[in-house]
Amino acid sequence: MHRTTIKADIASEEADWASGDYFQAGVDTANALTEAVGPIENANSPMDYKPEVFFVSGFVEGFIGYNHLTEIGQCLTDGTDIVKDADVMIKDL
């Protein structure tokens, strides 16, 4: 049933790889695999994160254009100092 979509994703991946667009090649490969086996559920719901995680994630996105919410949510265990430092920085500005 999904064979046509999977084949199209693989063709796109091959074209991306040949043109040097390795990031998009990875996206296309993930799309093909997701179509074949279904999505992988994330164990952590974004709603499980503390407000500090959302703050840092938004801060990172402002600089680099991607928020890394999942990664930050897994690593940041105590964001109290980050929020205090950000508050001081904003007041200084």
**Using CA atoms in the order 32, 11, 29, 23, what is the torsion angle rounded to 10 degrees?**
-140
- For the stretch 47-58, pLDDT in tens is 677 778 887 888
Higher pLDDT, 82 or 10: 10
pLDDT at residue 47, rounded to an integer: 62
Give me the helices (H) in the chain, please.
3-19, 22-37, 51-64, 69-75, 80-92
pLDDT at residue 39, rounded to an integer: 76
Higher pLDDT, 75 or 79: 75
Q: Are 73 and 43 in contact (CB under 8 A)?
A: no
pLDDT at 42 over 80: no
